[in-house]
Amino acid sequence: MFKEKNKSRGLEENYIKKRAVRIFSAASSFAAGVLFILAFAVSFEPETALLGHGDMLFPAGAVICIVSCVICAIYCRFAIPKNKETGSVLPDENKFEQYYRLDSGAMKAARYVCAGALFAEGIVRIYLLFRGDLSSSVQPIVAILAVLLFLPLTLYFVPEISSLTAPAYPKIHLVYGLAGVLWFIFNVIYLYFDRSVALSSPYTLFIQIMLLAIMLAVVYEIKMRTDSPSPRMRLATLCIAVILTGGFTLGRITMLICGKVVSPDDVTGIVTAAGFTVYLFARLFFYDED
């Protein structure tokens, strides 16, 4: 009886610790977002994707993000115990099927938003690709893959596809997810070689870091469906992705409202970033499989 009571208390403490780091990551994201909004509204120069001379708002927001990410990583590593009994609430049998039965209505809605944003971006970028409006400084094969790989990533987020439970489907779903990871990689490469903006632009650099953070969150989310899940790493990468995506996306939306758009391609990127933000925050607060 005492053993069961101690186990229950341990589970409750573990839940509180996880909830605390979730709230901290969301608060850090919004705090940085206030600074990013002010920076993009006041001193951003869309012609060069650079900030005005002497601007300290963007660096301050970036520092908040970096420090918060380090705190979340350390907290998840040392404050949350690695315990087989608290590592996952999913039994080994029918793990894939039960994983998606945990999806709440809010989570499914967020999946639709993210999938819709990705699909819209993919269609628009295909149009821009054929018109020749994408950066000419990027190798054609990189630009093509950066555009076309939106499809498997979109399928990964569609709830109906995610919830299929045919015996062979879990492996197929992993293929969708891992193929979608290539979308992140090629878009980071595309941004790196894009010479339509200054190479030293903190704006472009932050987008690359944001995409890599979301990619890691997706990778560890995929890993939760396998026989060797990593709940602590999944939580850490999720919190880091929220910190780096939420506030920065608010700043980019402000930039769009103010008419400070770097390129037509950048508009689609803002829409997709907003979709990812909705999904990540829903994953943070409306879904707890670990």
> Which residue from 113, 122, 92 is spatially nearest to 225, judged by alpha carbons?
92
Which runs of E-coded beta strand occur in 12-156? 44-45, 50-51
Q: Mean of the pLDDT values across residues 89-108? A: 54
- Mean pLDDT for 240-250 is 95
With bands split at pLDDT 50, 70 and 90, how would you rate the model's confidence at 79?
Answer: confident
Contacts of residue 219, defined as CB under 8 A and 6 or more positions apart, other chains included, come to 181, 237
| Beta partners for residue 50, in sequence order | 45
Task: Give the single-character DSSP code of 159.
Answer: H
Residues 6+ apart with CB under 8 A from 26: 242, 246, 281, 284, 285
3-class SS of residue 50: strand
Per-residue pLDDT band for 2 (boundaries 50, 70, 90) equals very low
pLDDT at 23 over 90: yes
CA distance 177 to 162: 10
Contacts of 113 (CB under 8 A, 6+ apart): 275, 278, 279
pLDDT at position 28: 96
With cut-offs at 50, 70 and 90, classify the pLDDT of residue 198. confident
The arithmetic mean of pLDDT across residues 18-24, rounded, is 92
